[in-house]
Amino acid sequence: MRTEHSTAPVAGPSGQGATGSATAVAHPNIALIKYWGKRDQRLVLPWTSSLSMTLDLFATTTRVRLDPGAGHDTAALNGVPATGETLRRITAFLQLVRETAGSGVRAVVDTENTVPTGAGLASSASGFAALAVAAAAAYGLDLDATALSRLARRGSGSASRSLFGGFVVWHAGAETGTAAEADLGSYAEPVPAAGIDPALVVAVVDAGPKEVSSREAMRRTVDTSPLFRPWAASSEDDLADMRAALRRGDIDAVGEIAERNALGMHATMLAARPAVRYLSSATVTVLDRVLQLRREGIAAYSTMDAGPNVKVLCRRADAERVAGAVRDAVPDDTVLVAGPGPGARLLGEGT
Ligand code: DP6
């Protein structure tokens, strides 16, 4: 890994009570072993553990300010007032923070997002990670990074992983036990990786919102896809193989496992009833180019989330060559190079 990222607790204002206002920044993460399917919708508990790399691009900065006079929460995303399902999810999340803090005070949330929203680039991951850190501080909760990852999970599963930098595993936790035990067992933590200097080349082949939300798509997959259970079982094996590949710094194995896990996840949704197909012809064009790069001797491997965009894992030293090849394949689309990024952090009280 090129950069060391702090895994120290993201401190709230310990023992000082609510600051009333706090700002946090978080980055998205891309799963190399996917989270796809919840065993508990309310607690956001996944069927399988997942593993990701936090990016150094597309930061989300969120300010939470308590407003004792307000009758309800308000939120703005890049200056535009949030409404509908987006506001409902933010309010439900703040309600959870209020219940934990024993507060009834409403909040004003301001978010600046640099990731194209709703395009399968996990804006909910950086969004709920930043909201968890800022809201916990504003309401005076003194939580370490592990507890903050559990809290962020309740907003969006993948957000639990954005609490940490570099490679991160999110444990599914045990399937037996009480709700409180299940909640405690499902958290994220950093994963050791030896001597890997990775890059992710991100091909944004479509930055528009998706037709089926990942939340709805994963529910439909779990409920109707005959391929879901077999994929979930094989994903546990993929995770064990991935951890071993990271430990020995084997980027070819990391890429191979990530690619097969992602293609398997998309197979589960293609087999759902009705099918969910996020992959477009531009996606397939990039996948073909990546195969060609491998034939040319370059370690390059694809992964796709709930959208048509492709993220290509490669060595940092090869990133410009890989990005050039992908740009040639989809000349009208945006192609960016990301590296490993830092975990979520508080920017300072009252900022
Ligand atoms: C395909 O974390 O957005 O990106 O928990 O319902 O908010 P909710 O889902 P979300 O799903 C991400 C799915 C994925 C794979 C991954 O990031 O692991």
Query: What CATH number is given to the structural domain containing 290?
Result: 3.30.70.890
Residue 71: count other Cβ atoms within 10 Å of its Cβ.
6
If one compares 93 and 14, the residue with the highest pLDDT of the two is 93
Q: Are residues 203 and 170 in the same domain?
A: no
C-alpha 20 to ligand 1 mean position (Å): 30
Whether residue 6 has pLDDT greater than 80 = no
- Site to probe by mutation for ligand 1, drawn from 27, 33, 35 as the one with most ligand atoms within 8 Å of Cβ, is 35
Per-residue pLDDT at 117? 54
Task: Determine the pLDDT at residue 211.
Answer: 85
What pLDDT does 348 receive? 65
Number of domains in the chain: 2
Q: Are residues 63 and 132 in the same domain?
A: yes
Question: Ligand 1 centre from 277 Cα, in Å?
Answer: 16
Among 193, 136, 191, 186, residue whose Cα is nearest residue 160: 186
The pLDDT confidence band at residue 298, using thresholds 50, 70 and 90, is: very high
214 CB near ligand 1 (under 6 Å): yes
- Report d(CA 37, CA 48) in Å as an integer: 8
Q: Is 210 in the pocket of ligand 1 (CB under 6 A)?
A: no
| DSSP category for residue 165 | S
Q: Residue 255: what are its φ and ψ, rounded to 5°?
A: -65, -45
Report the Cα–Cα distance between both ends of the chain, in Å, rounded.
32
Tokens representing 171 are 């444990």
How many DSSP H helices and E strands does the chain contain? 9, 16
91 and 129, same domain (yes or no): yes
Banded pLDDT at 116 (limits 50, 70, 90): low
Is there an atom of ligand 1 within 6 Å of 35 CB?
yes
Query: Do residues 310 and 223 share a domain?
Result: yes
pLDDT at 121 (0 to 100): 63
Q: Which of 329, 297, 327, 333 is nearest to 315 (CA)?
A: 297
In a domain, 28, yes or no: yes
Asked if residue 73 belongs to a domain, the reply is yes
Q: Decide: 122 in ligand 1 pocket, CB within 6 A.
A: yes
Name the closest-CA residue to atom 6, ligand 1. Answer: 215
Helices (H), the chain: 84-101, 123-138, 145-155, 179-185, 214-224, 228-247, 251-270, 281-295, 319-329
Q: Is 15 part of any domain?
A: no
Domain range for residue 264? Answer: 198-338
**Whether pLDDT at 205 is above 80:** yes
| pLDDT, tens only, 56-92 | 999 999 999 999 999 999 999 999 999 999 999 999 9
Do 224 and 251 lie in a common domain? Answer: yes
